[in-house]
Amino acid sequence: MRAEAKSYAEQLISPAGVSVSVLHFEGDIAGTSKNTVLTTFHGLPKEAARYVLLDFTKVGYINSGGISLMVQLLMEADQAGQKVHVFGLSHHFEKVFAVAGIDKYAKLSHDLPSAMASL
């Protein structure tokens, strides 16, 4: 049985003094997670949304619908001029994101400190 996706946003300041929005995901990301994920993404405060970090540390599974959802989010972010960094993916899903080409639109980091340091 899959765990329903949850998401919430947090505002942080990077070591360089940059305002950053962090989207934390929990559970499993699938096509059925669209409303949950995009509602949180669209609700980011505009002044803090230039840099967006996507936190997958508490995500157990991402199916093809979830990958498609991430591509949609990244396309919207690109059109809005936002820079997106992804962290917390398992080694398997780092490979999946690379094969899907997501790493061309978002920088992949292992954890929050390395993602923040790359801003």
Instruction: Report yes or no on 69 lying in a domain.
Output: yes
| Number of domains the chain contains | 1
Each residue's pLDDT, cut to its tens digit, for the chain (119 residues) gives 578 899 999 999 999 898 999 999 999 999 999 999 999 999 998 776 799 999 999 999 999 999 999 999 999 999 999 999 999 999 999 999 999 889 889 999 999 999 999 88
- Beta-carbon contacts of 25 under 8 Å, excluding residues fewer than 6 positions away, are 5, 6, 7, 37, 54, 55, 56, 58, 59
Q: E strands within 2-50?
A: 6-13, 19-29
Which residues constitute the domain of residue 65? Answer: 6-117
In a domain, 10, yes or no: yes
- CATH assignment at residue 51: 3.30.750.24
Task: Tell whether 86 is covered by a domain.
Answer: yes
**What is this structure's pTM?**
0.94
Whether 5 and 36 have beta carbons less than 8 Å apart is answered as yes
